[in-house]
Structure 1
Amino acid sequence: MLAFLGAGYTSDAGPYQDEVRKGIYYLRSVALETQYGFDWQQGGSMYGHGIALLAMSEAMAMMKINDQFDSDLYHHVSEGANFTTFAQHPNGSWGYTPGRPGDITITGWQVLSLSTAKKAGIETRSDLFARAKRFVMSVRDEPRYEFGYNSPKPERTTTAIGLTLLLYLGQQPGHSFFDQEFDRLVERGPMLTNVYHDYYATMALHHVRHRDWELWNTQVRNHLVRTQATSGHEAGSWHFKDKWGDVGGRLYTTAMCALILEVYYRYLPLYEAPEEFPL
């Protein structure tokens, strides 16, 4: 559903209206009503909840009519955000289950979904994002802006996530160590078969309008065009043999690849030179 929305398709516009409509109806139907809000874990984890809330938040934001939100979508997003707020651990992270200490990967989806909901007008607890930023900084390997999973033991994927989250949490470019880490993303290049890393790295570089953005985007795009299946029932899909691709399968990998390709027109850059894009 996120991949369809990212291409500009909604339940009211585009050639995949039925698919988006069914996705929205399904997420409505499986939202578990609790005293803390709507829970989309479905017996799984906060991963699923965060991604579902992100999809519903984007759908709500894209389907305004005369500046009015769909009231039912608004209700579901608001209640989903309430549950996410309840589930945050005091250290600012989110874990696999509500209230447990977590890691930067699960926290990433919660921050993205809550940021989207907030941008669409959903109110959140005043200290929610500040606490999330404190957690992200707690897994930073100082003085550089490299990040670990749940401790300052940096990895490439968690560093890409951390950089993206800091941008969403108000960290602005201009700090030398911070800016250098975006340069390092480009120097190392996309991981190509690790779509989780490449999704967050692509978002980070796009949001800061990095000077080598076109080079990065061309590398990623050419790789994805070259590796997309072209025959049989797998035509149009992607699958890479790595730890996450094998776990998530072809549907996960294909959705993530589509989201990577959509980044530059799905999102407005968070930080933009005003003289280049005057309001």
Structure 2
Amino acid sequence: MRYEKQDGKDDVEASVWQILAIKSALMAGLDVATLRPVLKRGVKALAATIEDDGKTVGPATLCMQVAGQGNNPVCKAAIASLDGLTMEWDNPSFPNPVYHWYFITQAKFRHGGQAWAEWNRSFAPELVKRQAIENEAIEIPNCQHHKKYDIGHWTSPGKAERYGTVYATALCCLMLENYYAYLPTFSEPPEAKDDKKDEDVEIDINL
């Protein structure tokens, strides 16, 4: 998949968002016959990119997890390959770091254990520290108190990060919401657990 209509190599970033959207649609009950085969092929393709160059470890790992492949050896090895990685704002490991940090945060959160504990100690304080705060920047319309509120945002330190401050701020907020905002994407809501059509897609990945 690609953002633009053009020949050439598929855009992993575009593919990741589409795969996550397909999984969300399935969990919401949109069980179109063609969705599951598309999800299966997409996840297998992303799993292969982990072996190719390692640059898509975070995004590809999260996609494997949400498709029910969290215990796959490829997925476990991918998580292990991120051991020791920290969020270094002034010296990021990626040209588009916020994008990668978002997926690494999601993947490590879902994996849990020591991998998440170590990353959590790194990324959360760094994000809080790096938020740019504008004091008394906005006033709520039609508010009788006429109080002005502070706002905060993030600008990516990466030269190749696309879409600007709004995009970076959205992803940073989503990282900080991991603790309480989401049912893990690979988990089924309680009322759907007995419905076999909502089970995770079984994918045999041999790389």
Assess if the C-alpha contact under 8 Å between 1:195 and 1:253 holds in 2.
Answer: yes
Letter matched to residue 106 of structure 1: A
1:197 aligned onto 2:113: no
SS at match of 2:22: helix
> More helix per residue: 1 or 2?
1
Choose which of 11, 19, 24 in structure 2 pairs with 1:116: 24
Q: 1:99 to 1:169 in 2, by over 3 A?
A: farther
Letter matched to residue 252 of structure 1: Y
Deviation of 1:99 (Å): 9.3
Name the CA distance, whole Å, in 2 between partners of 1:228 and 1:204: 23
How high is the sequence identity, in percent, across the aligned residues? 25
Compare relative contact order (CA 8 Å, sep 6+) and give the higher one, 1 or 2. Answer: 2
Structure 1 length normalisation: TM-score? 0.52
Name the CA distance, whole Å, in 2 between partners of 1:198 and 1:205: 10
Q: 1:154 to 1:186 in 2, by over 3 A?
A: closer
Provide the residue aligned with 1:136 in structure 2: 46
Name the CA distance, whole Å, in 2 between partners of 1:107 and 1:225: 30
Q: 1:99 to 1:112 in 2, by over 3 A?
A: farther
Name the CA distance, whole Å, in 2 between partners of 1:103 and 1:191: 26
1:261 aligned onto 2:168: no
1:160 aligned onto 2:58: yes
Q: CA RMSD in A?
A: 2.6
Name the CA distance, whole Å, in 2 between partners of 1:135 and 1:169: 13
Name the CA distance, whole Å, in 1 between partners of 2:50 and 2:153: 35
Name the CA distance, whole Å, in 1 between partners of 2:160 and 2:174: 16
Assess if the C-alpha contact under 8 Å between 1:111 and 1:165 holds in 2.
Answer: yes
Superposed CA offset, 1:222-251 (max 9, x none): 011111112355941111332244x32211
Q: 1:237 to 1:268 in 2, by over 3 A?
A: same
Deviation of 1:172 (Å): 3.0
SS at match of 1:202: helix
Choose which of 149, 154, 167 in structure 2 pairs with 1:238: 154
Provide the residue aligned with 1:250 in structure 2: 165
Assess if the C-alpha contact under 8 Å between 2:79 and 2:115 holds in 1.
Answer: no
Deviation of 1:140 (Å): 3.5
Provide the residue aligned with 2:78 in structure 1: 181
Number of aligned residue pairs: give it. Answer: 165
Provide the residue aligned with 2:68 in structure 1: 170
Aligned ranges 1:37-56 → 2 under 5 Å: none
Name the CA distance, whole Å, in 1 between partners of 2:163 and 2:17: 16
Superposed CA offset, 1:74-103 (max 9, x none): xxxxxxxxxxxxxxxxxxxx1224696622
Q: Which runs of 5+ in 2 are unaligned?
A: 138-149, 188-207
Deviation of 1:171 (Å): 1.2
Deviation of 1:114 (Å): 1.4
Name the CA distance, whole Å, in 1 between partners of 2:155 and 2:76: 32
SS at match of 2:165: helix
SS at match of 1:263: coil
SS at match of 1:139: helix
